[in-house]
Amino acid sequence: MQLFHFFFFFMLYLATVTTNLLIISVVAFDHRLHSPMYFFLINLALQDLGSVSVIVPKSMINSLMDTRRISYHGCAAQIFLFLSFGVSDFSLLTVMAYDRYVAICHPLHYEMVMNWKYCTEIIILVWVAGLLCGMLHTIGTFSIHFCSNVVNQFFCEIPQLLKLSCSGLNLFETGILVVSFIVGLGCFTFIIVSYAVIFKAVLRISSEQGRQKALSTCIPHLTVVSMLVLSSCFAYLRSLSNTPSYLDFWSTVLYSLLPPLFNPIIYSMRNKNIKHVLSQLWSF
């Protein structure tokens, strides 16, 4: 089972790293892709690459060496970095939904609204929000006293660590989780509304081909975001049971490992400009 665990995570990690590095390389080295939309894509790839690299290599090493150990500071670093990348990733997906809304519903105003200055400020804000959220959650989680050092998960995850508290619920971390949930729900609602307006605009397109193209782009975006939100909500808001469950494991895999794999495929690989550059590189 440990070898199966290792190879399963190795294949997921290899596929995720390969696709995201490919996107970063293509956008960075082709001057035709130096525009705000691709600027968002390269940042999304960096965030996805960072989030899986924080948790998967350590888990693979533990499986291969048949050990279960992580240091206290290593656990704190894992939580801080994973949440920083994860929150900035979701924030950027929210921004990208707005970007698609402006591009499809107000194409004549796109270059004026999504200019380089505005996009750079947004990216800085996205990364700062991720770092701030990661720091607050790390402080809140490690301010509690732990009665056990056994974490029933393949990485240090906040819900599993909260189960180890000697004094029950920690008010500070619970408050941060509630605020994070409200903000996350607001972002998810914004994404849903943005795509609803896009769908309404798409249905007015007279060309059947244009309508299918727009829908085939937006529906996969919405599917990945929904999977990320629902699985993370299930993992973080389900009743705290002291009994380890395979359901905990798979819900964590859904929100931590699959979106970084699917994001470059859905947001980038299906883009005709990126596919064109990739085909040129492949021909060499």
**Torsion from C-alpha of 14, 20, 22, 26, nearest 10 degrees:** -170
- The pLDDT value recorded for residue 234 is 78
pTM of the model: 0.90
- The pLDDT value recorded for residue 112 is 87
Q: Which two tokens stand for residue 176?
A: 């941060």
Which residues have CB under 8 Å from 165's CB, separation 6+?
A: 144, 145, 146, 147
- The pLDDT value recorded for residue 78 is 95
- The pLDDT value recorded for residue 242 is 57
- The pLDDT value recorded for residue 125 is 95
- The pLDDT value recorded for residue 87 is 94
- The pLDDT value recorded for residue 221 is 79
Q: Which of 94, 241, 231 is nearest to 159 (CA)?
A: 241
Q: Which of 93, 48, 69 is nearest to 188 (CA)?
A: 93
Q: Name the stretches of the chain with pLDDT < 70.
A: 168-169, 205-211, 213-217, 237-245, 269-270, 280-284
| Contact yes or no for 259/48 (Cβ under 8 A) | yes
- The pLDDT value recorded for residue 199 is 82
- The pLDDT value recorded for residue 246 is 73
Euclidean distance between CA atoms 69 and 195, whole angstroms = 44
